[in-house]
Amino acid sequence: MGKYRFLSLIALAALLALVPGTIARAEPDYIRLHIIAASDSDFDQAVKLCVRDEVREVSAALLEDCQSADEAFERLNVVSEELRMAAEARARREGFEGSVRIELGVFPFPDRMYGEELVPAGAYRAVRIVLGEGEGQNWWCVVYPGLCLPEDNHGELIVFYSSIGAWIRRVFGGGGETE
């Protein structure tokens, strides 16, 4: 069986080398969460962070059993009004009186490091919560598959999921690791 695995790995490497762009297209599909403050005032920035915490908690619960980014984005579309209402309720508890709107779509994002993993700049599907006029500094994270900076997670461990790595472990064995 060891010889078969070695030959299969050689064949896979050759195939990937022959098909330009295969590796780039195989990156995980991310869905981002983007919160934009009403302004740069201390109050509006604090409200943004409270809304962030609320929406992250609600969305994590909603997405915990999703098996793909497509499934997660579809679910977010279905519950978008629920997310908006959770964001608005939290903003009101903090004393914010402006509008709270939600946008789902594809938006441009810059490079961002999550631990040692780079999510490259590009256009990504996202849930965007805009507070008031949305003229303040913003915050974003990857809500699916759930990557965030350690300080954004209050010290929680980040686990990076690679669909290619999972496939290779299934085909060639991975020492008993599980996802």
Q: In which band, very low, low, confident or very high, does the pLDDT at 56 lie, cut at 50, 70 and 90?
A: confident
Residue 14 lies in a domain: no
Residue 166 lies in a domain: no
User: Which tens digit of pLDDT belongs to each residue from 109-139?
Assistant: 888 887 777 888 889 899 999 999 999 998 8
Structurally, the chain folds into a number of domains equal to 1
Local structure of 143: helix, strand or coil: strand
Residue 109 lies in a domain: yes
Q: What percent of the chain has pLDDT above 70?
A: 66
Q: In which band, very low, low, confident or very high, does the pLDDT at 150 lie, cut at 50, 70 and 90?
A: very low
Its pTM surpasses 0.75: no
Long-range pairs, 61-67, Cβ under 8 A, ≥24: 63/143, 63/144, 63/146, 66/144
State the Cα–Cα distance between residues 99 and 132, nearest whole angstrom: 5
Residue 21 lies in a domain: no
Range of the domain at 45: 31-148
Summary mean pLDDT of the chain = 76
